Amino acid sequence: MSEINQQEFDELTNRYRKLIASQRTLLLSTASANGAPNISYAPFVRDGTGLYYIYVSELASHTVDLLNNPKASIMFIYPESESHNLFARERAVLNCSVEEIIRDTETYTQQIQALQEKFGKVVSLLSTLPDFHLFALRQESGRYVAGFGQAFIIDVDNDSLKR
């Protein structure tokens, strides 16, 4: 890949941020207790510190995985219908540590409210069900792919790309 100038690099960082901001769900990769991989998706909200919050049921294998193994990878990917080349879809993959947020805490209340504002009344119903858990996903590392020959490390502390 040829060297890109600062303006092009800034544009790529903005594309990365727009990709995530345009999504309402994330793809979620977890591992079971015996190491078997699972992939799923979940609606999410993101707070001002960069944490991603998901609210998921114990009936789903990914919830049990997260309770037993607090690591996950998440992916945001540009829609197929809007991609010029399906072999080089724009995407961001983040490796995350996971923490369950306990009910009756301020963070729990705030994030359930944020989920309800984003997704509507269904969250009020789900929040009455005892099998649902709120998890915070903290990005630890990541990679953004803008296309062929355009892969960048994500600076998770600054929500930007590294040169």
Let me know if residue 83 belongs to a domain: yes
Question: Does position 92 have pLDDT exceeding 80, yes or no?
Answer: yes
Let me know if residue 55 belongs to a domain: yes
CA torsion 99→19→141→103, rounded to 10°? -10
Let me know if residue 119 belongs to a domain: yes
Question: Using CA atoms, how far apart are residues 144 and 154, in angstroms rounded to an integer?
Answer: 6
Domain count, the chain: 1
Query: Which residue in the block uniquely carries the two structure tokens 């502390």?
Result: 157
Question: Does position 1 have pLDDT exceeding 50, yes or no?
Answer: no
Q: What pLDDT, on the 0 to 100 scale, is given for residue 2?
A: 56
Let me know if residue 1 belongs to a domain: no
pTM of the model: 0.93
Let me know if residue 87 belongs to a domain: yes
Across the range 126-137, mean pLDDT stands at 94
Q: For residue 85, what is the domain's CATH number?
A: 2.30.110.10
CA-closest candidate to residue 134, choices 89, 103, 92, 88 = 103
Let me know if residue 147 belongs to a domain: yes
Let me know if residue 41 belongs to a domain: yes
Question: Does position 52 have pLDDT exceeding 60, yes or no?
Answer: yes
Question: Using CA atoms, how far apart are residues 128 and 142, in angstroms rounded to an integer?
Answer: 34
β-pair type (37-46, 25-31): antiparallel
- Which pLDDT band holds residue 100 (cuts at 50, 70, 90)? very high
Structural domain range at position 121 = 6-161
Question: Using CA atoms, how far apart are residues 98 and 32, in angstroms rounded to an integer?
Answer: 14
Question: Does position 87 have pLDDT exceeding 60, yes or no?
Answer: yes
Beta carbons of 57 and 132 less than 8 angstroms apart: yes
149 Rama sector, left if φ>0, alpha if ψ -120 to 50, beta otherwise:
left
Mean pLDDT score across all residues of the chain? 94
Q: What pLDDT, on the 0 to 100 scale, is given for residue 4?
A: 83
